[in-house]
Amino acid sequence: MRGSVRIHSVLKIRMSIRIVTWAAVLLAVVCAPAYAAGNGPKVPSVPVAPVEQTAVPAAPATPIVVELFSSQACTFCPQADKLFGDLIKQPNVIGLACHVDYFDVHRGALSHPFCTERQTWYEEQLHLGPNYTPQLIMQGQIDAIGYKADVVDAAMKEAHETVIAPLKIESTQADAFTLTLPADWKVEQGTDTSLWLMLYDKPHEVKVAGGANRGQDVTYYNIVSAMKDAGTWPAGQPAMSVTPGLAAAHQGFVALLQNKTTGKILAAGKYETK
């Protein structure tokens, strides 16, 4: 008899649970359309203040200055000249090709004594050893053999980590320009600097007249045909005026602010004619 009472109680409890469960499901089904239609209980909305977004101007990218010391008579130089032509197509790369006069062809030479002098100055400042061609100097600090693509790639990666200031160049009148440093950058007191103006030509398409490359057709880009020392940049001064001496044969000029003691390029900018 007691066992029957127990079974009856358990069954009664299970039936109650089922009734409650089905009641909850029915309530959900009935109330869902009301909530979907917006007829459910109203929840007070909390106003959300709009988030103000301030545009942050991007910092000017670091220029990468690539100087190629080359020669028409050099066996490996055509490879370097082609590689240099590819490099200067990259964003922010400022390229200057300076042909040395200690090793060159006799006819149609593109060389200048000041190119040899500049290369020799780098050798002395950077303690690199004897002059050679083709040589690349990047940011005034990094030496690379100019025709070896893997060596040049490694040097370019290092150059991207060597920050220099971008020089803004604005034309004010015929052959007169203003060079301006970034607002957050200045020449420190006591820094011995030189401001170089490097004028470079429009592309030269040349059939090499002599040497190991005789008869080869080579296109030479950004050949430096004139170089001018514009003096020292005064400490703390934000801008300077220059007259580079652009001529019809020139494609443009590059301004390099350089530390005389270390060779490091501190700031650089490029101006090209239209």
Going by pLDDT thresholds of 50, 70 and 90, the confidence category of residue 188 is: confident
Task: Please give the backbone phi and psi of residue 193, each rounded to the nearest 5 degrees, phi first.
Answer: -120, 160
Tell me the pLDDT tens digit for each residue of 252-263.
Answer: 999 999 999 999
DSSP 3-state percent helix, strand, coil across the chain (nearest 5) = 25, 30, 45
Task: Pick 64-272's CATH classification: 3.40.30.10, 3.40.50.720, 3.60.60.10, 3.40.50.2300.
Answer: 3.40.30.10
β-bridge mates for residue 228, sequence order? 197
pTM of the complete model: 0.78
Q: Averaged over 145-169, what is the pLDDT?
A: 96
- Whether the per-residue pLDDT at 193 is higher than 70: the answer is yes
CA distance 127 to 121: 10
Cα 63 vs. chain centroid, distance in angstroms?
5
Residues in Cβ contact with 170 at an 8 Å cutoff, skipping those fewer than 6 apart:
177, 178, 180
Tell me the pLDDT tens digit for each residue of 203-216.
Answer: 999 999 998 999 99
Tell me the pLDDT tens digit for each residue of 108-136.
Answer: 999 999 999 999 999 999 999 899 999 99
Q: Averaged over 3-26, what is the pLDDT?
A: 37
